Amino acid sequence: MRRSLSLVLFLLFSVLMTAQDQSRVDSLEKALEQLPPEDTMRLYTLVYLWDATIGSDLNRADAYTRQMIREGLERDDAKLTAAGYQRLGVTCDYAGKSDSAMFFYRKALAIYQARNSGRMQGIMLFNVAILQQEKGLYDSARHYLALADDRFKVSSRLVERSAVNTMKASIERQQGNPAEGIKSATIGYELALQAGDSSRMAAAEEEIAFNYMNMDQDSLAAKFFERSYRFHIRVHDEYYASLSLMNLATCHQAMNKFESALAYGNEALAIVQENQYEDLVVDVLKIIGNVYWSNEDYEQAEQIFLQAKASLADKDLGRVTTEILTYLSGVQLNLEKYDQSRSNGLKGLAMAEEQGQTKLIHRAYGQLAIVASKQGDFEQAYDYMVIRQGIQDSLYHKELGEEVARLTLLFENEKKERLISEQKNQLALLESQARAEKLQRTALIGGLIALLALLTAGWYSYRQRHQRQELEKARLADELKTHQKELSTHALQMAQKGQLLDQLREEIRQIKGERPDDRKKLDGMLRELGSEERIDQDWANFRSYFQGVHGDFEERLKAAAEQTLSPRELRLAALIKMQLNNQEVGAILSISQDSLYKAKYRLRKKLPQAGEGELDAFIREV
């Protein structure tokens, strides 16, 4: 009864997956209340509840994961406990609590290690690597990725290994090594291709494209964004397809291909609006507006930025809001709408200063200086330009300092790695030399003796094995020769016996007496000569010799036939296999040549692989 209830509830959950989130959560919670504590369906129900709330209510998602852990510990259910720790780590990561996420990931990892679950160990190590990457601890992230990849290799998880290599590519790109990033992403693509996973193929293609963008190779980047877009469309992932189109628009804008850039941007906007991806609307409008601005179509650019501003409404999207206001101010400056440009510029500047967005602050002061100059307020324009110049100098020195620091770090790391490598090589060489000298002194004579003994034993073993093989070959050859001789003798005897019996039948027919008693006796003798029982016995003896020579010939012949073969047809085939001529075959079977031709014709019809006039050759090859 409980098993049936679990099945019904499981089907109910599957249907509810397509319902509205809140309705789905309410239904799942009611279903959870009806499940007894020991029912394994509680795990799946709690996972569904967590999945339904992780994107909208982190507090409830946190509560469901802690309930998983609590019930898992109470029931000593390692699977349930590990699932709880794993999802609690994800919840903490979503909430920005990376240290807590790391703690819970490691708790889950310890359980998966005890259960010897390679794939889940790999997933936990992969999640830890993401946390390390987010903190800028790239060497640590690489370390955990390598551990994850080892787990995935053991369990032959191509999709997971693809994700690992794509993430390696992302780290290389962030550290300014786009060429290495392309190599890692290419490996990720090839693994996803082997697995047939279009989503992972798309992710790898996108990472390759981002690395080409960092190398200012926008045409190549556009090629790979185009490929990723097609993969997303193949799996009906409209969200990431729209992101690929947005990146394509950016690449074509950088190549001054404004018409195609607008086409990609508008296509992305259509997908975003149709699917109500509210978080992407402003981003795609920002890209379209910038394309118009780059093409000096300021009126269209203003309309797009105003649309983006309106879609923001009362939302505060941080940097995005600041960018829209700053861009709108710049476009209105070009349209000589100075009051509007100044208003939006000051709002954008205030937000940029609050957020510490130095580059946006620099841009806003420059635009405000031009507006003040156009309006005749040269003192204010001068003040703005002085501030802008100070920020520019600061940015230059900051960027220069960051580049020097990056190059210094790369140089020091390379020098350190080279020094460590040289020291390791020297140490390994010394250790190798010491071991070699010790082995030469202590094991040379013993090695030679062992080698001599081994060679002697090997030679003796080979000689014995060779002799046994030769004896066995000779025995089998003698045995085969004997069987062949017996088979030929038996066939000859059957042929001679058949001929003799035919002659006797003919002579008896010729000497039949006139008296009824004589004819009756002679008819009885003729019936005895043609007795099927005697003939069957002769054929049974022949068949035993034949199988000793030709093995499972009958079975192979039956497999080649489209219809069932009769005993007489099997006998005919056996005689053909022995390469007897038609006269000998007819004599053994006690049939005329015409009857023999008809029998062969019927047999060939049952063997479609035997061509016209090729029955004998086909049977001898079977």
Residue 170 lies in a domain: yes
* Residue located via tokens 């390994």: 428
Domain membership of residue 185 as a residue range: 157-219
- Which residues are CB-contacts of 155 (< 8 A; sequence separation ≥ 6)? 118, 119, 122
Residue 622 has pLDDT above 90, yes or no: no
Q: Which of 219, 253, 268 is the last residue of a domain?
A: 219
Residue 342 lies in a domain: no
Residue 554 lies in a domain: yes
SS (H, E, C) 14-66: HHHCCCCHHHHHHHHHHHHHHCCCCCCHHHHHHHHHHHHHCCCCHHHHHHHHH
Separation in Å, CA 147 to CA 175, 180, 191, 421, 595 = 21, 20, 17, 22, 79
Give me the number of domains the chain comprises: 2
Residue 415 lies in a domain: no
* 80: Cα separation from own chain's centroid: 27
Residue 179 lies in a domain: yes
Q: Which of 170, 266, 257 is nearest to 218 (CA)?
A: 257
Most trustworthy range by pLDDT among 143-147, 445-449, 534-538: 143-147
Q: Which of 166, 188, 219 is the last residue of a domain?
A: 219
Residue 1 pLDDT grade (very low, low, confident, very high; cuts 50, 70, 90)? very low
Instruction: List, for residues 68-121, the tens digit of each pLDDT value.
Output: 899 889 888 898 899 999 999 999 998 889 899 999 999 999 999 999 999 999
Q: Which of 168, 184, 219 is the last residue of a domain?
A: 219
* Residue 593 amino acid letter: Q
Residue 568 pLDDT grade (very low, low, confident, very high; cuts 50, 70, 90)? confident
Task: Write out the two tokens for 166.
Answer: 């794509």
Provide the whole-model pTM.
0.58
Residue 544 lies in a domain: yes
- Which residues are CB-contacts of 123 (< 8 A; sequence separation ≥ 6)? 86, 148, 160
Angle at 123 between CA 7 and CA 228, to 5 degrees: 95
208 contacts 182 by C-beta, under 8 angstroms: yes
Q: What pLDDT score was predicted for residue 246? A: 94
211 contacts 185 by C-beta, under 8 angstroms: yes
Residue 558 lies in a domain: yes
Separation in Å, CA 37 to CA 64, 72, 112 = 15, 10, 23
* 65: Cα separation from own chain's centroid: 30
Instruction: List, for residues 263-321, the tens digit of each pLDDT value.
Output: 999 999 999 999 888 878 889 999 999 999 999 999 999 999 899 888 887 665 677 88
Q: Higher model confidence: residue 529 or residue 600?
A: 600
Q: What pLDDT score was predicted for residue 7? A: 32
Q: What pLDDT score was predicted for residue 321? A: 85
Q: What pLDDT score was predicted for residue 492? A: 60
> Distance between the two ends of the chain, CA-based, in angstroms?
60
How far apart are alpha carbons 444 and 109 in whole angstroms?
49
